[in-house]
Amino acid sequence: MKHSFKDWIIAVRPWSFPASAMPVIASMGYTTYAYHENLDWINGIWALLNIIIFHAAGNTWSDYFDYKHKVDAEDTFGVRTLTKKLFKPKEIYHLSWGLLIAAVAGGTGLWLRTGMPLLYIGLGGLACSILYPCLKYRALGDFVIFIAYGLLPTVGTVYAMSSQLSPEVLYIALPIGLITVAILHCNNTRDIQTDSRACIRTIAMNIGAKASIRLYCFEILFPFAWLTGCVAAKVLPAWCLLVWAAFLPALRNTRKALRYFKDGSSAIADLDQETAKFQLIFSVLLTISFALARLAG
C-alpha cells in the first residue's frame, strides 16, 4: 500500500509535539533571562528541532509495541494508525528506526558544537525513547516522561545555548514536567480497563481510579503553587505569576476529570488533548514572563 506524505505525517502524531517542544521553548526563555550574553541561538533552535524528531520516533516506537502487545486495539481510545490497518506494523517499525537514526545524528552534531554534558543528556533521551514501552508496561511510564520531557530538555537547552549546567532551571522543569506527565496520566486513567486486559501495569492501575484522578488534579494545579513559591523566594522573577492566566483552563480540566466519578471513562475521553492544550498555554505564558523579565532588566 502506497502512502502519501500526509499519511506519514499523521503517523508521527504531530499534534503531540508541543509536549516536547514547549519545555525547550520555555527553557530558551529562561536562558535569555538568566544568561544575558553570548547565547547561541542556533544551538537552541537545533535542540528544539532535535527533540521533536526524538518525540516523533518515540511516538511511532510506542505505537508499534502497543499494537504488538495488544494495548491498542479496535475498541480502545488509542492511536488508530495500526488498529485501522492504515499502516503495516513493519512500516511503523522501520519509520521509528529512521527517525531515531536522524535524531541521533542531529544530537551528535549538537554535542560536537557544545561539550560532553550534552552527550550524556542525549544518551539519556535516547534511552528514554527506546526503553519507554518496556518501562511503561511496568508502571514507570510517568517517571520516564518526566525525565524525557521535563528534566533532560530543560537542562540540555540551557547548556546548549549558554554552555552552563544550570541547576536553577529545575525550578521550571518541575511544573512543566508535571503537566506533561498529566497528559499521559489521564490517558492511563481512561484506559485502566483495556490496559488491564493487555496485562500491563500503569501507575493509574496501581493506585486505582479515584486516587489517579486526584493525582491528575495535583499534577496540573500544583505548578501554580510551585511557581508562586519560587517567586516569593525570589528564585524566579515576579513576571512568572503571569502563568495564573492559565488557571481557568486548568480548573476546567480538573472539573472534567472529576466527572469520571459519575460518568466513567467516557467523561475523560479527550482529556489528554485538553491537557496538552493547557500545557501549551501554560508554557507560552511562562516563556513570555521570562522575556518580559529580561526586558524589564
Domain ranges in the chain? 19-296
Q: d(Cα 66, Cα 73) in Å, to the nearest integer? A: 9
Strand partners, 138: 201
Written as nine digits, the cell of 31 is 536562558
pTM of the model: 0.91
Q: Which of 115, 100, 116, 7 is nearest to 51 (CA)?
A: 100
pLDDT for residue 67: 85
Alpha-carbon distances, residue 110 vs 100, 137, 177, 249 (angstroms): 15, 32, 23, 36
What is the model's pLDDT at position 143? 96
* Dihedral over Cα of 223, 229, 231, 236: its sign: negative
209 Cβ partners below 8 Å, 6+ apart? 189, 192, 260
Q: Residue 139 has which C-alpha cell? A: 508502571
Nearest alpha-carbon partner for 162 in 24, 48, 45, 39: 39
Q: What pLDDT does 197 receive?
A: 84
Report the pLDDT value the prediction gives residue 184, as an integer from 0 to 100: 92
CA angle 242, 174, 177 (to 5 degrees): 95
Cell numbers linked to 57: 520516533
Helix 89-113 and helix 41-68: axis angle, to 10°? 160
Q: Calculate the CA 79 to chain-centre distance.
A: 17
In eight-state DSSP terms, residue 236 is: S
Burial 189-205 (b: 16+ CB within 10 A, else e): bbbbebbeeeebbbbbb
Q: What is the pLDDT of residue 87?
A: 86
Q: What distance in Å separates the CA atoms of residue 139 and residue 136, rounded to the nearest whole number?
A: 5
What are all long-range contacts of 120-127, with beta carbons under 8 Å and residues at least 24 apart? 121/152, 121/155, 121/156, 121/159, 122/156, 124/148, 124/152, 125/51, 125/54, 125/152, 125/153, 125/156, 126/54, 126/100
Q: Are 78 and 66 in contact (CB under 8 A)?
A: yes
H-assigned helices in the chain: 5-11, 18-34, 41-68, 89-113, 116-136, 141-146, 152-162, 170-190, 192-197, 203-207, 209-232, 247-258, 260-263, 271-296
Do the beta carbons of residue 33 and residue 288 sit within 8 Å? Answer: no
pLDDT digit string (tens) for the chain, length 297 residues:
688 888 888 889 898 899 999 999 999 999 999 997 889 999 999 999 999 999 999 999 998 998 888 876 665 666 668 777 888 999 999 999 999 999 999 999 999 999 999 999 999 999 999 999 999 999 999 999 999 999 999 999 999 999 999 889 999 999 999 999 999 999 899 888 888 888 889 999 999 999 999 999 999 999 999 999 999 999 999 999 999 999 999 999 999 999 999 888 888 989 999 999 999 999 999 999 999 999 987
